[in-house]
Chains A and B, each alone.
Chain A
Amino acid sequence: MNELLTIMKSEWVISLLIFLLLFIKLGKGMKNESLLLLIQVLLLLNFIGGFFFNTEGSLFAGMYHSTALIILQKNILSLGVYLISLLFADWFKRSEHLTEYFILMLSALLGMFFLISSGNLLMFFLALELATIPVAAMANFDLGKKISSEAAMKMILSSAFSSGILLFGISLVYGATGTINFAELPAQMNNGPLHILAFVFLFTAFAFKLSVVPFHLWTADVYEGAPMATTSFLSVLSKGAVAFIFISTLNKVFLPMQEIWYNMVMILSILTMIIGNLFALRQQNIKRFLAFSSIAQVGFILVGVSGKEPESTASVVFFILVYLFSNLAAFGVAGIISAMTGKENVNDYKGLYQTNPFLSWVLALALFSLAGIPPTAGFFGKLFLLTAGGTKASYLFITIAALNMIVSLYYYLRVIRAVFMDKNEEPVEKLVVNPSARLGLLICGAGILLTGILSWVYDYIQSLC
């Protein structure tokens, strides 16, 4: 019984938080400021607590299992949630459904936790849905805005469709092998047509969540329409969680079909990088721009995924960590600006450096890290992904990936240019950044600068794989 408590500790904590928030909601409303502060503290505690009293092990006949690596991944996710709660303080304060928003976010987080540690397709499916449906609701939280509800609609419909595909795949798996248990599946899997078909269905479900081309089309629209907080949650946490489970599934469950999924990943990764970059080139809206850039990033993640164990897992986890810092920093700055001035266009950023040097530097750091420029962590992240990919990949694959870095640099520099070089009559006025947001940006900046240089971070991750 107490094993149940200890091994599933993190899930319990999140559930407790959810209930706590529910009670708060039932009780007479608190003021947003204090409520937000409380939530931030709770999330911080949750994050810190994530490092202690962890026990590995598995429950429910292997439906749920937890290892040191999984715990680390969960901690990364909690950190992400904490940062989001910091960064978008300005927006939260003004929204009248703060509690609901966080309840949804936390339940999505709970879903992700279960997702990561699921050991069974049923559990996996449930967790995936739990991690998706609330986000769709979260996307709708700019209640006044048309595009917000449009985004939510697009998200829920396409995710429903994709879960239909997923389920069909699962049913085929079950039909072909008679089991839906990760532990037993590898023994049953082979390269027969039915298995491949089933695998493709599953794989595409992952691809959809990771927004891999050609399953990515929902991404940009949802990102643009959804509130900044939701967008960043989607782009960082959902992707991260799915990437974690994706790579572990490929390397554990579908090991027998290695050649197949390796080639599949390679093709899709190339496609994703190219398409993502090509679309990112011409985006004007910063959120849409970041959406496509994150698609391109996914292409890079796939390069790492295609590699050999344990480098592949280590590099992917490391990159997700780095990507979390960089992307949240970028979204954070964009969020602050849009929350205060409503400006979301790249051209509105012209001359930003003159008025807001701090924001500009953080944004620059974030973009450089996304572009993979040293000494930011992004450089190491990308390099390790490529190296991990190199353990298997062909020169051609690696070269294409490397060349894509140039294109991506081009559009990141577009923003840098707007911020630092271009003149502007009425630039964004001098903004007073909310302290908690400032704290969040500082954390991100520190993360961007240090995660790479301090090599023990990566080595710790690798030691867990």
Chain B
Amino acid sequence: MMEPGLYHILFISATLFFIGVFGFFTRRNLITMLMSVELILNSVNLNFIAFNKYVWPNRLDGVFFTIFVIAIAAAEAATAIAIIINLYRSHHSIDVENAEEMKY
């Protein structure tokens, strides 16, 4: 069996990216939206790794970057969750459509 090439992986990551974007646009539940963001970030991670492995094997920036992205994603998620909890306190729901008070 042939082993996967760069483009396969890029394809997967791109798909992942757009799945994430789609989820972000369509999901009503804030937590789910957050998960979709995570998908996007992970697709980026895939990109980094792939590029690092196939294109620039001797430049390790990609790997490091991935590590940091994971860390940041965690931090972001933490803050977001906190905020969402707070929102739940005031709105008694975590449906994004209930938080559209400010507009125009």
Decide if A and B touch, CB cutoff 8 A.
yes
> Which residues does A use to contact B, with CB under 8 Å?
122, 125-126, 129, 133, 136-137, 140, 143-147, 149-154, 156-157, 160-161, 163-164, 167-168, 170-172, 174-175, 178-180, 220-221, 224-225, 288
Beta-carbon contact of B83 and A153 below 8 Å: yes
Choose one: B43, B79, B90, B103; the contact of A136 (CB below 8 Å).
B79
B99 within 8 A of A: yes
Interface residue? B12 (CB, 8 A): no
Chain B residues lying within 8 Å of A150, measured Cβ to Cβ, are 87, 91, 99-102
A152 touches B86 (CB 8 A): yes
Most A CB atoms within 10 A — which of B34, B83, B96? B83
* Given contact pairs A164-B40, A178-B56, A225 touches B86 in the complex (Cβ within 8 A): no
Which chain B residues numbered 47 to 104 have a C-beta less than 8 Å away from chain A? 47-48, 50-52, 55-56, 59, 61-62, 64-65, 68-69, 72, 75-76, 79-80, 82-84, 86-87, 89-91, 96, 99-103
A129 to B87, CA, bound (A): 22
| Cross-chain contact B102 with A175 (CB below 8 angstroms) | no
Q: Are A164 and B44 in contact, with the CB atoms below 8 A? A: yes
| In the bound complex, CA of A164 to CA of B25 (Å) | 14
Interface centre among A140, A157, A163, A180, by most chain B C-beta atoms within 10 angstroms, is A157
Given contacts A133-B79, A178-B56, A179-B59, contact A164 B20 (CB under 8 A): yes
CA distance A180 to B47 in the complex (A): 14
Interface of B is mostly: helix
A151, B65: Cβ atoms closer than 8 Å: no
Contacts of B103 in A (CB 8 A): 221
The reply to whether B90 and A146 form a contact with Cβ atoms under 8 Å apart is: yes
List chain A residues, Cβ under 8 A from B91.
Answer: 146, 149-150
Q: A149-B90, A175-B51 are in contact. Are A163 and B76 (CB under 8 A)?
A: yes
Total interface residues on B, using CB and 8 Å? 44
- Kindly count the residue-residue contacts between A and B in the assembled complex, taking CB atoms under 8 Å apart: 124
Which residues of B line the A interface, CB within 8 A?
Answer: 17, 20, 24, 30, 33-34, 37, 40-41, 43-44, 47-48, 50-52, 55-56, 59, 61-62, 64-65, 68-69, 72, 75-76, 79-80, 82-84, 86-87, 89-91, 96, 99-103
Nearest B-chain residue to A152, judged by Cβ: B83
CA distance A234 to B52 in the complex (A): 36
In Å, the complex CA distance between A451 and B75 comes to 40
A295 to chain B, nearest CB (A): 14
User: What separation, in Å, do the CA atoms of A225 and B80 have in the docked complex?
Assistant: 16
User: In the bound complex, how far is the Cα of B104 from the Cα of A250, in angstroms?
Assistant: 33
Collect the chain B residues with CB atoms within 8 Å of residue A122's CB. Answer: 61, 64-65, 68
Shortest Cβ gap from B22 to chain A (Å): 12
Q: Are B41 and A164 in contact (CB under 8 A)?
A: yes
Q: Residues of B contacting A175 with CB < 8 Å? A: 47, 50-51, 55
- Are the C-beta atoms of B59 and A178 separated by less than 8 Å? yes
- A392 CB, nearest partner CB in chain B, Å: 34
Contact present for A167 and B24 (CB under 8 Å):
no
A160 in contact with B34 given A147-B102, A168-B17 (CB within 8 Å) = yes
Residues of A within 8 A of B34 (CB): 157, 160
Residue contact A168 to B44, C-beta cutoff 8 Å: yes
B79 to chain A, nearest CB (A): 5
Q: Do A172 and B47 touch (CB < 8 A)? A: yes
B83 touches A156 (CB 8 A): yes
